[in-house]
């Protein structure tokens, strides 16, 4: 079967990148071409999300092309598809890809190369979310490093090369473990496939199903699980392997920060649910529920540790970066609820985790976008030097406040829906870890409101007198990101109805 | 009979007003900002009309109209319900909130005139009214929590309304953070309640579970204490009391509506909403009573010496909320809500009068006021009525409600009852004193120069004059009618609200104890008649207590008269004699210093967080950097043997070949 939607979604940006490479050197044309492509991509992802049939469930929009590596017995397929878990993340990638393209409007330096790398980045992330073959998944996972390295080191500020290299080394170290784990699964006689899910219509039996029937793997199951976990923990990131994130974020250009916070971190969360939870739910000898306590402890530490460090930051971008460490901890906390399988709330925890990925993507993407705009106007990100900007840029200040309130979990905005679901789902199994994590919400209010106060309120230093507010082009991505934050905040079922399908399959309900 | 859609519309109108002002009027038609005011008034008036309709419907339906429970989110094993809760408590709060809000909006038309943020002000006020109405209408626990937080947001936005003033920006943040600290415990309580039963996030189910004994006493204690912590934060009770005086940085109508009559009373509402849970636990009830009783005295004592008129009223609010908590803590449910109801009217009146004198004198500092009764007779007369009500003098509204609380406390058969009665009477003395101190300092004697004199003194002391003071003017005249009219209406309420709603004697237009009957009709909350009686449907009028409390109040007034009007006792001498006490009181028991300087700044921020941050950089990331540098050094060693020099390679290869040949030859 080959429906083509997903293949187009994956390769449209990279094809546009090729086109841009061949275009005459007119920066304005290049900008519009790139923005146009991401908008088409956004429409395409919206279509995929809406047309995913919830009643039918399962894997849809399958693009299958068997044995693209023609070696006997090497069962690697070109297999794309979305299920309930990935459909909202595909949408998220579409939204943030377009937002990032708009946010790159003011890039002046080597415009052609910049947009080429940005589009390649979008293709690779999209590939990660739609690949249902482990090898293909791994390839997209690795490809994403190249454009990131180029974008941070080429267009970054501060110490861009250091940060870019740190990012690459951390992720590569993690994915080395993942590769070993993937091979171990494939080599295990009773598994012997790369298919990440079962697709009955295509006669494909996926790893989760085979795991449930297997009696043993060639390596200890716990070890394979641990190898996957390391890769995802680095990407998420979780304490203590988070230290690449603040550096990468601080030094990356605005649009790259938006992509990094918005979708790249979600690759880690997606892996946790799709692979760590999906594969190891019924695996022989060892199941993920045995490791729930590790996830819960890691999550609680990340949340509080990240939040306390956020309070200490004086660089606006670094502050948001640390807050990401804290907020992505909620994803892991929600996943820790798998230990409650058999008990009632595992589904709530996992759904909360999935929803938190979506909401954190839009909220933190918006925050980075606004930080970029503020920086362009104030020419500084050093918080003690700022102040009183709100009367000069009321639109940016208002949007910043909305994003900040969403980030601190204000009801009516999407962050609250995700966090409360995670808490309710996880409290039953891990009450202490959840209670500690819930304190992160108090700390979040502290760092967000304090930051807003220091940047936007109070008296204004004279040198900000000619700061201007956002233009229409600036506002397009802002409005585009506020919309899902408000909609999901008021009625989260628009997203969770879809997630629920995927989670149900993962939990084997 | 009101239906569910009609009930949602009570929230819907102010919410629509918020959206229209925020999305249309403010960005595109800010020249016509006055429309925002009219729109808000219209929306709130419709809500009030619907609330009255709801009140009549609930009264007809016997205290409760059951509506459907709906699903906001639903996963296997986890359903988050929402819906409309329509019972006696809801409609009481609806009328209080919508009624006070309407008057405050009318007042705001005049008070906020000429402010740059006129439209924004009414947008936030609409948002607040909508959230507050949503809070009291909530049926789901999570829904209630959501509106609870939204109320906190509106409060944040309104306190920080003049955000270019550092004090306002700081006060807004402080209010949000301190209440959120309480909400953290509230959240934990919600999570805990959820583990007690899948369907307990729906309040009627929770009531049922509490009544059939499905919730044990220990479980109820923990859940109730968590909920109470949330209430302590929102109602500024000890030890989370320090944010409310600072919240007076907001515009005065905000102080009147949000920070005295409605939002801060939401804590009492919260305890009332979960009353069946509290009743299961003696420990929880006693905690509520003692915290309330202590706060009543504690806050009133700070009100004795404050010079800012709004801050005096802020301390007074905290103190009066303390009364409500101790009433509900000793089981006097009806008395607590009776006091909440009447307090809303006379305290709004007092805050509005403070705004009115500010209009004339340009300042809130009573040391620069005086003699205003001649220029603002209406404000003066209404303030005296409000003050007598607050002090609890017969036959003003406050007398009836306060007396009912005392009568209950006297009947409670435990040490807690006596403790809170003594605390309550002490606070009553202080209340009468500080209230009349305000009246004498503000309205009697000679005018002491207003903001002009204050600025002069500030300049003389070499202090900076902030924007608000620099632009304020002395303008000795009565306030415009939009401000006076609400005062007059409230004055009528401050006289009559007590007797008319809950007369303890059975003649007149209203039945005896009609308020109590109405509040305890709800069989969801009060399963049995005994439970309702216990909650205070039929308190006896206790002449002894009434006499005692009146005596206490009158002596407070007399002392204020002696000190500030007749000048028999010099306040300056008294201050000098009790200097340490005065210093502690005027510095609010140094709680701000303890919280902000010592705990937050010194211990948390400059020690704990700083060390954690340096751990993150030097140790955690240091390991990474160290690993990288070892790798580089190691690769340097290996790199030496692969340095790309063909000559070296050739030499080594030749030497190796020679060695190999030699070995080969000699070995073979």
- Tens digits of per-residue pLDDT, B409-443? 888 878 888 899 999 999 999 999 999 999 999 99
The CA distance from A359 to the nearest CA of chain B, in Å, is 15
- How far is B70 from B62, CA to CA, in rounded Å? 23
The CA distance from B375 to the nearest CA of chain A, in Å, is 36
Q: Do B163 and A509 touch (CB under 8 A)?
A: no
Whether residue B145 lies within 8 A of chain A, CB to CB, comes out as yes
- How far is B269 from B128, CA to CA, in rounded Å? 16
φ/ψ (deg, to 5) at B526:
-115, 95
Whether residue A416 lies within 8 A of chain B, CB to CB, comes out as yes
Residue pair A235/A331 in contact by the 8 Å Cβ criterion? no
Question: Beta strands B78-87 and B64-75: pairing type?
Answer: antiparallel
* Predicted local confidence at residue B535, as pLDDT: 64
The CA distance from A345 to the nearest CA of chain B, in Å, is 5
Q: Do A449 and B187 touch (CB under 8 A)?
A: no
- How far is B196 from B199, CA to CA, in rounded Å? 9
pLDDT tier, B502 (very low <50, low <70, confident <90, very high otherwise): low
* CB < 8 Å to B145, chain A: 411, 420
* Predicted local confidence at residue B599, as pLDDT: 86
Whether residue A145 lies within 8 A of chain B, CB to CB, comes out as no
Q: Do B184 and A439 touch (CB under 8 A)?
A: yes
- How far is B252 from B108, CA to CA, in rounded Å? 9
- Of B206, B204, B234, B235, which is closest to residue B220 (Cα–Cα)? B206
* CB < 8 Å to A390, chain B: 163-164
Q: For residue B71, what is the enclosing H or E element?
A: strand B64-75
Whether residue B192 lies within 8 A of chain A, CB to CB, comes out as yes
DSSP B116: T
Whether residue A348 lies within 8 A of chain B, CB to CB, comes out as yes
* Predicted local confidence at residue B431, as pLDDT: 94
Q: Do B164 and A405 touch (CB under 8 A)?
A: no
Whether residue B574 lies within 8 A of chain A, CB to CB, comes out as no
Average pLDDT, chain A: 91
φ/ψ (deg, to 5) at B314:
-65, -45
The CA distance from A391 to the nearest CA of chain B, in Å, is 8
Of B146, B191, B620, the CB nearest to A411: B146
Q: Supply angle C-alpha B335, B339, B345, rounded to 5.
A: 155
* Predicted local confidence at residue A77, as pLDDT: 87
**Given the structure tokens 């390391």, which residue do they identify?**
A230
Report whether pLDDT(B653) > 70.
yes
Higher pLDDT, B313 or A339: B313
Q: Do A458 and B166 touch (CB under 8 A)?
A: yes
The total number of residues written for chain A in this structure: 509
Q: Measure CA B530 to chain center.
A: 32
Residue pair B141/B125 in contact by the 8 Å Cβ criterion? no
Q: Do A305 and B613 touch (CB under 8 A)?
A: no
CA atoms in the 13 A half-sphere facing the CB of A212: 13
* CB < 8 Å to A460, chain B: 164
Instruction: Tell me what percent of the residues of chain B surpass a pLDDT of 70.
Output: 96
Residue pair B364/B310 in contact by the 8 Å Cβ criterion? yes
pLDDT tier, B504 (very low <50, low <70, confident <90, very high otherwise): low
Q: Do A496 and B75 touch (CB under 8 A)?
A: yes
Statement: the pTM of the whole predicted model exceeds 0.90? yes
- How far is A209 from A205, CA to CA, in rounded Å? 7
Q: In chain A, which stretches have pLDDT less than 70?
A: 341-344, 509
Report whether pLDDT(B7) > 60.
yes
- Of B127, B93, B242, B256, which is closest to residue B182 (Cα–Cα)? B242
* CB < 8 Å to A453, chain B: 169-170, 172-173
Of A309, A412, A458, the CB nearest to B146: A412
Whether residue A213 lies within 8 A of chain B, CB to CB, comes out as no
DSSP B618: I
Report whether pLDDT(B537) > 60.
no
Report whether pLDDT(B538) > 60.
no
Calculate the dihedral angle through the C-alpha atoms of B55, B58, B59, B63, rounding to the nearest 10 degrees.
-130
Q: Do B613 and A425 touch (CB under 8 A)?
A: no
* CB < 8 Å to B21, chain A: none
Q: Do A344 and B147 touch (CB under 8 A)?
A: no
Q: Which residue of A has its CA nearest to B147?
A: A411
pLDDT tier, B498 (very low <50, low <70, confident <90, very high otherwise): confident
Whether residue B636 lies within 8 A of chain A, CB to CB, comes out as no
- Of B182, B199, B183, B191, which is closest to residue B219 (Cα–Cα)? B191
* Predicted local confidence at residue A496, as pLDDT: 93
- Of B249, B271, B309, which is closest to residue B148 (Cα–Cα)? B271
pLDDT tier, B503 (very low <50, low <70, confident <90, very high otherwise): low
Residue among A356, A446, A486 with most chain B CBs within 10 A, to mutate? A446
Range of lowest pLDDT (A79-83, A249-253, B198-202, B528-532) = B528-532
Give the number of beta-carbon pairs within 8 Å between A and B: 136
Whether residue B595 lies within 8 A of chain A, CB to CB, comes out as no
Whether residue A356 lies within 8 A of chain B, CB to CB, comes out as no
In sequence order, which residues have a C-beta less than 8 Å from that of residue A113 and are 6 or more positions away?
A: A150, A154
B159's tokens: 């306190």
DSSP A159: S
Of B169, B187, B624, the CB nearest to A458: B169
* CB < 8 Å to A423, chain B: 187, 191
DSSP A392: T
Q: Which residue of A has its CA nearest to B170?
A: A453
The CA distance from B609 to the nearest CA of chain A, in Å, is 6
Report whether pLDDT(B108) > 60.
yes
Q: Do B73 and A449 touch (CB under 8 A)?
A: no
* Predicted local confidence at residue A101, as pLDDT: 94
* CB < 8 Å to B78, chain A: 344-345, 347-348, 421, 424-425
Residue pair B306/B428 in contact by the 8 Å Cβ criterion? no
Range of lowest pLDDT (A217-221, B451-455, B528-532) = B528-532
* CB < 8 Å to A493, chain B: 72-74
Average pLDDT, chain B: 88
* Predicted local confidence at residue B539, as pLDDT: 58
Q: Which residue of A has its CA nearest to B182?
A: A442
Of B146, B164, B612, the CB nearest to A305: B612
Q: Do B613 and A347 touch (CB under 8 A)?
A: no
Q: In angstroms, how far apart are the furthest CA atoms of chain B?
A: 132
The CA distance from B33 to the nearest CA of chain A, in Å, is 17
Whether residue A308 lies within 8 A of chain B, CB to CB, comes out as yes
Range of lowest pLDDT (A330-334, B113-117, B180-184, B347-351) = B113-117
Residues linked to residue B308 through DSSP beta bridges, in sequence order = B365
Whether residue B28 lies within 8 A of chain A, CB to CB, comes out as no
* Predicted local confidence at residue B572, as pLDDT: 85
φ/ψ (deg, to 5) at B75:
-125, 165
Q: Which residue of A has its CA nearest to B613?
A: A309
- How far is B603 from B597, CA to CA, in rounded Å? 9
Q: Which residue of A has its CA nearest to B187?
A: A438
> Helical H runs in B392-462?
397-411, 415-443, 450-460
Q: Measure CA B337 to chain center.
A: 16
Q: Do B173 and A449 touch (CB under 8 A)?
A: yes
Whether residue B147 lies within 8 A of chain A, CB to CB, comes out as yes
In sequence order, which residues have a C-beta less than 8 Å from that of residue B284 and are 6 or more positions away?
A: B220, B221, B224, B225, B228, B278
Whether residue B622 lies within 8 A of chain A, CB to CB, comes out as no
Q: Do B73 and A417 touch (CB under 8 A)?
A: yes
Q: For residue A79, what is the enclosing H or E element?
A: strand A78-82
- What angle, rounded to 10 degrees, do the helices at A145-155 and A160-187 form? 180
Report whether pLDDT(B592) > 90.
no
What is the mean pLDDT of the segment spanning B537-544? 68
* Predicted local confidence at residue A329, as pLDDT: 95
**What's the helix, strand, coil split of chain A in %, to 5?**
70, 5, 25
Q: Do B192 and A427 touch (CB under 8 A)?
A: yes
């Amino acid at each position: 079967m080959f429906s083509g939607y997903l293949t187009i979604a994956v390769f449209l940006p990279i094809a546009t990148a090729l086109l841009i490479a061949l275009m005459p050197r007119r920066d304005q044309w290049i900008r519009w071409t790139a923005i146009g492509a991401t908008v088409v991509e956004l429409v395409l992802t919206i279509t995929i999300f809406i047309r995913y049939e919830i009643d039918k469930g399962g894997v849809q929009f399958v693009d299958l092309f068997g044995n693209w590596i023609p070696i006997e017995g090497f069962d690697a397929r070109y297999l794309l598809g979305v299920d309930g878990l990935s459909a909202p993340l595909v949408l998220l990638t579409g939204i943030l890809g377009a937002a990032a393209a708009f946010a790159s409007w003011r890039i002046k330096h080597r415009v052609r190369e910049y947009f080429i790398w940005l589009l390649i980045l979008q293709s690779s992330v999209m590939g990660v979310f739609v690949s249902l073959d482990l090898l293909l998944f791994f390839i997209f996972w690795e490809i994403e490093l190249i454009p990131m390295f180029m974008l941070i080191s080429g267009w970054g500020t501060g110490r861009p090369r250091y940060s870019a290299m740190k990012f690459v080394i951390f992720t590569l170290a993690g994915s080395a473990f993942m590769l070993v784990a993937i091979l171990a699964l494939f080599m295990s006689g009773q598994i012997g496939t790369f298919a990440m899910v079962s697709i009955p219509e295509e006669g494909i039996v996926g790893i989760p199903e085979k795991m449930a029937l297997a009696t043993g793997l060639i390596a200890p199951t716990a070890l394979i699980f641990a190898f996957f976990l390391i890769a995802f923990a680095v990407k998420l990131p979780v304490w203590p392997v988070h230290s690449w994130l603040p550096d990468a974020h601080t030094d990356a250009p605005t649009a790259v920060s938006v992509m990094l916070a918005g979708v790249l971190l979600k690759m880690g969360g997606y892996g946790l649910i799709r692979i760590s939870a999906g594969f190891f739910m019924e695996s022989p000898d060892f199941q993920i529920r045995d490791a729930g306590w590790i996830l819960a402890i890691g999550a609680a530490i990340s949340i509080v540790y990240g939040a306390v460090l956020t309070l200490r930051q004086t660089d606006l971008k670094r502050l948001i970066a640390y807050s990401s460490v804290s907020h992505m901890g909620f994803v892991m906390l929600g996943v820790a609820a798998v230990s409650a399988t058999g008990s009632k709330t595992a589904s709530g925890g996992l759904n909360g985790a999935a929803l938190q990925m979506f909401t954190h993507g839009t909220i933190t993407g918006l925050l980075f976008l606004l930080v970029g705009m503020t920086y362009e106007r104030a020419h500084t990100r050093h918080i003690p030097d700022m102040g009183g900007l709100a009367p000069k840029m009321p639109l940016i200040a208002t949007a910043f406040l909305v994003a900040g309130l969403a980030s601190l979990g204000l009801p009516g905005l999407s962050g609250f829906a995700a966090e409360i679901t995670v808490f309710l789902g996880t409290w039953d199994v891990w009450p202490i870890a959840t209670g500690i994590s819930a304190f992160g919400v108090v700390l979040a209010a502290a760092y967000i409101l304090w930051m807003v106060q220091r940047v936007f309120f109070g008296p204004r230093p004279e040198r900000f007198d000619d700061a201007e507010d956002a233009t229409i082009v600036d506002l397009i991505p802002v409005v585009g990101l506020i919309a899902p934050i408000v909609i999901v905040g008021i009625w989260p079922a628009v997203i969770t109805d879809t997630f629920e399908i995927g989670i149900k399959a993962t939990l084997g309900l | 009979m009101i239906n569910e859609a009609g009930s949602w519309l009570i929230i819907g109108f102010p919410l629509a007003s918020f959206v229209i002002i925020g999305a249309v009027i403010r960005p595109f038609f800010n020249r016509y900002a006055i429309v925002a005011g009219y729109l808000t008034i219209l929306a709130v008036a419709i809500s009030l009309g619907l609330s009255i309709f709801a009140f009549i419907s609930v009264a007809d339906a016997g205290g409760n109209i059951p509506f459907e429970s709906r699903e906001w989110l639903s996963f296997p094993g986890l359903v988050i319900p929402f819906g409309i809760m329509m019972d006696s408590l809801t409609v009481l709060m609806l009328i209080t909130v919508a009624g006070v809000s309407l008057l405050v909006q009318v007042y705001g038309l005049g008070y906020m005139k000429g402010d740059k943020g006129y439209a924004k002000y009414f947008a936030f006020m609409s948002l607040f009214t909508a959230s507050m109405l949503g809070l009291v209408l909530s049926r789901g626990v999570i829904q209630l929590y959501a509106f609870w937080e939204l109320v906190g947001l509106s409060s944040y936005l309104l306190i920080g309304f003049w955000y270019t003033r550092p004090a306002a920006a700081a006060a807004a943040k402080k209010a949000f953070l301190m209440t959120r600290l309480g909400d953290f415990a509230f959240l934990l309580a919600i999570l805990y309640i959820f583990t007690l039963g899948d369907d307990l996030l729906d309040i009627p189910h929770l009531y049922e579970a509490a009544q059939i004994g499905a919730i044990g006493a220990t479980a109820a204690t923990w859940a109730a204490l968590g909920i109470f912590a949330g209430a302590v934060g929102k109602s500024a009770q000890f030890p989370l009391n320090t944010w409310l005086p600072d919240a007076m940085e907001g515009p005065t109508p905000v102080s009147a509506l949000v920070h005295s009559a409605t939002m801060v009373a939401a804590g009492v509402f919260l305890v009332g909403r979960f009353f069946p849970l509290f009743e299961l636990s003696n420990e929880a009830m006693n905690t509520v009573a003692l915290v309330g009783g202590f706060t009543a005295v504690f806050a009133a004592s700070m009100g004795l010496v404050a010079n800012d008129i709004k801050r005096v009223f802020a301390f007074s609010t905290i103190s009066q909320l303390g009364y409500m908590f101790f009433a509900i803590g000793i089981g006097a449910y009806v008395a607590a809500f009776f006091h909440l109801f009447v307090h809303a009217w006379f305290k709004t009146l007092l805050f509005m009068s403070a705004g009115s004198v500010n209009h004339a004198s340009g300042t809130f500092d009573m040391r620069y006021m005086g003699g205003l009764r001649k220029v603002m007779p209406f404000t003066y007369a209404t303030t005296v009525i409000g003050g007598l009500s607050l002090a609890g003098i017969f036959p003003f509204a406050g007398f009836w409600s306060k007396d009912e609380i005392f009568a209950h406390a006297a009947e409670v058969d435990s040490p807690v009852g006596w403790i809170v009665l003594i605390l309550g009477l002490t606070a009553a003395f202080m209340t009468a004193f500080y209230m009349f101190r305000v009246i004498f300092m503000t309205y009697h004697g000679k005018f002491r120069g207003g903001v002009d004199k204050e600025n002069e003194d500030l300049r003389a002391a070499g202090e900076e004059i902030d924007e608000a003071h620099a632009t304020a003017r002395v303008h000795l005249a009565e306030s415009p009618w939009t401000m006076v009219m609400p005062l007059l209406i409230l004055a009528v309420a401050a006289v009559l609200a007590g007797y008319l709603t809950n007369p303890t004697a059975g003649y007149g237009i209203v039945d005896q104890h009609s308020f109590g009957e109405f509040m305890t009709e709800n069989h969801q909350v009060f399963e049995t008649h005994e439970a309702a009686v216990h909650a205070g449907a039929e308190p006896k009028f206790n002449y002894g207590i009434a006499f005692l409390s009146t005596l206490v109040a009158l002596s407070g007034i007399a002392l204020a008269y002696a000190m500030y009007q007749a000048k028999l006792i010099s306040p300056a001498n008294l201050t000098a004699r009790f200097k340490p006490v005065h210093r502690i009181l005027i510095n609010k028991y140094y709680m701000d210093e303890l919280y902000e300087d010592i705990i937050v700044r010194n211990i948390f921020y400059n020690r704990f967080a700083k060390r954690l941050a340096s751990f993150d950089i030097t140790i955690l990331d240091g390991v990474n950097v160290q690993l990288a540098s070892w790798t580089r050094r190691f690769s340097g060693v290996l790199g030496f043997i692969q340095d790309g020099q063909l000559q070296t390679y050739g030499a080594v290869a030749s030497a190796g070949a020679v060695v190999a040949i030699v070995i080969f030859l000699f070995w073979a």
